[in-house]
Amino acid sequence: MRVLLALLLVGVLASALGTVFAKHESRKLFVQLQDLEGARDEMNIEWGQLQLEQSTWATHGRVEKLARSRLGMVTPAADAVVIVRPQPGASEPQP
């Protein structure tokens, strides 16, 4: 009878230690999850800011201004514009 009681006591203690360990691990993982979610949120904010910055740099007016100032590009005169139209059947590759 004492052996059975001793085995039950050992089993209860092992179970209690296992429960404490599992709870501790659960809490550690939850803290890690919270940290990762915070980092994700910060990265999402930065991504939105970068997209806004990219759209600002790529506006039509800015590109045209840089083309004129840095590359010396100008709008051609109306008589200098040539419209090229494809010939019928020319869009098919030649064998």
pLDDT tens string 45-74 = 999 999 999 999 989 999 999 999 999 999
74 in Cβ contact with 68 (< 8 Å): yes
Structure-token pair, residue 67: 């083309």
Say if residue 92's pLDDT is above 70.
no
Classify 70 as helix, strand or coil: coil
Separation CA 95–CA 66 (nearest Å): 43
DSSP state for residue 27 in the 8-state scheme: H
Structure confidence at residue 87 as a pLDDT band (50, 70, 90):
confident
- Amino acid at position 13, single letter: L
Query: What is the pLDDT averaged over residues 19-32?
Result: 98
Predicted confidence (pLDDT) at residue 91 exceeds the cutoff of 70: no
What is the structure's pLDDT at 35? 98
